A = this chain, B = another copy of it.
Amino acid sequence: MTLTSRLTGLMGLILLGTTASAFAQVETHHLDNGLEIVVIPDHRAPVVTNMVWYRIGSADEPAGKSGIAHYLEHLMFKGTDEIPEGQFSQIVAANGGQDNAFTSYDYTGYFQRIAADRLPLVMRMEADRMTDLVITEAVWGPERDVILEERRSRVASNPSAILGEQRSAALYLNHPYGTPIIGWEHEMSSLTRQDALDFYTRFYAPNNAILIVAGDVTLDEVVTLAEEYFGPLASSDSISERIRPQEPIAVAARRLVYEDPRVQQPYVIRSYLAQERNAGAQEDAAALTILAELLGGGATSVLNRALVVDAGIAVSAGAFYNGTSLDRTSFGVYAVPAIGTSLQQVEAAMDASLSEFMQTGVDMEHLERIRTQVRASEIFARDSQEGLARAYGSALTSGLTVEDVQNWPADLDAVTAEDVMRVAAEVMDLRQSVTAELRGTSTPEAPQ
């Protein structure tokens, strides 16, 4: 029951996209009621990961009801007409499995990892709660307290998370990606049982869901079970194309400062509005992925070399980009100043380093090393059953296809130095950016 944020903070971790090309053949099927099925065979061990992904996330929430997608995700564990209140996860655990769920801007997902012979059990339970959820008067109030507490512990107690919300709100002038996935506190605190039921009734249906099963199963086995459990569910006619308010043309560079006495380590971070992966057209996103790696991936990256190794004025620096998104996403750079260096100095050095990169271009040896890393990440990806299932789930709920997921490694491999410089010039436009400073109360040269 977690929140998945596109910008995972300062780790400098580039999600190259868990990739599938070397994995066993992925197979797909559709039920008549619209349920999409993806099976990822993995016969190394007699376990399965059973996932149901809904094409609904926080960016699909009604105005003023922020947090409802995540709140409903919590309530989905309460009970149904068949499962007694509070028993969902206990049944899974009693059968040796683990379960959880996650909400993001573009999707909500539920999963169990369990012995392969228990797949019928968990699939039946997922089908049951797709349309027969029960939210009693006894549970909705206390569960709202739980999400409010989750906000306090994840956001209010974390200056970096507070800044993250402010950055998104400032980056998106019109698109709901500017609203936090977990919701604004004042709106969360007035969400009701009826709000959750309205959201559930409108968006939870087989024709708005994807069943992804990875592990020791075959497509035939999964389809047979899915027909039995999901097959009887009626498709909904309240599911329509996901059209959200889009961004106007960006014209004004924005800056913001969040100052908090709890901040030990100040930093400066900039996000630019950026192209996302689009079905059949992932080239720009692939180039942006490589660009982020060149600028910020590891000790030999452009920003690290310039700011940390050579100048010694930053303790870390990096870049980030994740193109798996239904609408425009962001590309970012950041720098964490060394003691005695001000945020202004480290930002100026970061900008100088980026300018130099734009003039000198891509170091071809560096690009080759990145390509090797990408290939390595494909090999590592084979090892994670859940990671692979999530790569498919997030892609398919973000407007991409199975083919897009399978083509992604090749798209990354095909990126040229020219592609990188072209997307770099496009994306690094201050007019479509927010530069944010996280400051402690004693951060050097804090403005008034």
Contact = CB atoms under 8 A, between A and B. Distances in A.
Interface of A: 63-64, 66, 162-163, 166, 169-170, 173-174, 176, 178-179, 184-187, 243-246, 248-249, 251-258, 351, 430, 436, 448
A340 to B, nearest CB: 24
A251 B258 contact: yes
Contacts of A255: 254-257
A64 B174 CA distance: 8
15 contacts: A63-B244, A64-B244, A64-B245, A64-B246, A66-B245, A163-B252, A169-B173, A169-B174, A170-B173, A174-B187, A186-B249, A251-B258, A253-B257, A254-B256, A351-B448
A176 B254 contact: no
B166 A174 contact: no
Secondary structure type dominating chain A contacts:
mixed
A248 B165 CA distance: 11
Contacts of A251: 162, 166, 258
Given A185-B248, A257-B430, 5 more contacts: A63-B176, A64-B243, A64-B245, A162-B252, A170-B173
Q: What 3 pairs across the A-B complex have the smallest Cβ distances?
A: A252-B258, A169-B173, A64-B245
Contact of A178 (B166, B173, B184): B173
Given A186-B248, A244-B64, A170 B254 contact: yes
A436 B436 CA distance: 15
Contacts of A185: 248-249
Contacts of A178: 173
Nearest to A258: B252
Nearest to A438: B252
